Amino acid sequence: MAETTTPSGLPRVDAASRDRLLKDVLKGVSRSFYLTLRVLPKNLREPIGLAYLLARTADTLTDRHRRAGFTGARLEGLVVLRSQLVGPADASVLRKLAAQSMDGDPSPEDRALFGSLVECFALLESFDIADREQVRWVVDKLTQGMEMDLTSFPAEDSGELAALATGAHLDRYTYLVAGCVGEFWTRITVAHAPTLKWWDVAQMSETGVRFGKALQLTNVLRDIPRDLRAGRCYLPADELAKAGLSPEALLDPSNETRVREVLIPWMQAALGHFQAAEEYLLAVPSRSVRLRLACLWPLLLGLATLARLARSGKWLDPDSTVKVSRSWVYRMMFLSLPAICSNTLLRRWVRSLRRQVERAL
């Protein structure tokens, strides 16, 4: 980072700092997203990569605050971060937040993330107005989802358990923590990719929202056993009640048969969102290979995870781990290269995974 600073006290960004943030720091906190970022066209890497780093910072704050018993204390770090996003950012406030967030024994990756917080905001301020506002918008939406998480559920070590009230609450949550990313992705790619200039931004944003919801809903359904033991039940309380279940009843794996009444419709909802994700992928022109790959990889990974979850039937078992193997991921990436320009091959691939889910349900 160059030693000169902006009027706000933020250091000016040089090429080495940009490279370090979007390679070393980002790779440390997410190897899977790092692969997606590297395949993107170069002019999209900075706004999308920085949005991820800022969101990951907020998410790490949320994880650290989940153990706090008092809601105000649990929200404090997020409130400070959001105020800095609105601007003007203050380097001294950011340094204080970073120092407080590194109390205890953070991982080397988290230490690097918080140690780069001032640089992240400096990079944000270096963007043109349009990109800056898009990044601010999506990170603000994501932090709203994190606040919803903190205010809806008890502290992680409280021994208490709470559920979201209704399906509308779950749908809102999936929008705030992932659906909004599809909206952001659409706007930012249309702004930077000439091949997408013909897109109807409003319509494609709606489809992008469903793409994001598909991925998040899959994560929610996969993580039910772990979340329950952390005091969080994302399955709606009213739907559980209709099935004669309480959130506490889900702690008993023997209730897996009874919970199907609630789980299956949500798996089907995720499957419907993945159909929209397929439409989104195929709307990207075949000559935009990098953009297509950046959409295809999370789509296939999410659908394969949902298929494994549907087949497992172990939806409440805390000892069951549903995930695709690293070898599957590498094989998927390798096979995607010859298929990426063919709509026929992509449809066949995606729909084969969808049929696996449908047969299991």
Q: What confidence category does residue 265 fall into, taking pLDDT thresholds of 50, 70 and 90?
A: very high
Q: What confidence category does residue 66 fall into, taking pLDDT thresholds of 50, 70 and 90?
A: low
Q: How far are the Cα atoms of 97, 148, 207, 256 from residue 235, in angstroms, in the given order?
A: 34, 15, 24, 13
As a whole number of angstroms, the distance between CA 358 and CA 361 comes to 5
Q: Which helix (H) or strand (E) holds 232?
A: strand 232-233
Share above pLDDT 70 across residues of the chain, in percent, rounded to a whole number: 95
Give yes or no for a contact between 340 and 334, defined as CB atoms under 8 angstroms apart.
no
Taking only the tens place, the pLDDT of each residue in 271-294 is 999 999 999 999 999 999 999 999
- Say whether pTM exceeds 0.85: yes
pLDDT for the residue 4? 56
As a whole number of angstroms, the distance between CA 190 and CA 174 comes to 23
Pairing of strands 162-163, 232-233: parallel
Residue 104 has pLDDT above 50, yes or no: yes
Taking only the tens place, the pLDDT of each residue in 232-255 is 999 999 999 999 999 999 999 999
Residue 76 has pLDDT above 90, yes or no: no
Q: What is the mean pLDDT of residues 220-228?
A: 96
Q: What is the mean pLDDT of residues 346-356?
A: 96
Taking only the tens place, the pLDDT of each residue in 22-60 is 888 988 888 778 888 889 988 899 999 999 999 999 988
Q: Which has more pLDDT, 12 or 95?
A: 95
Using CA of residue 236, residue 62, residue 329, residue 275, what is the dihedral sign? positive
pLDDT for the residue 5? 52
Would you tell me how many other CB atoms lie within 10 Å of the CB of residue 288? 19
Give yes or no for a contact between 259 and 250, defined as CB atoms under 8 angstroms apart.
yes
Q: How far are the Cα atoms of 95, 243, 249, 312, 317 from residue 255, in angstroms, in the given order?
A: 48, 11, 7, 15, 10
Q: Which has more pLDDT, 304 or 79?
A: 304
pLDDT for the residue 1? 41
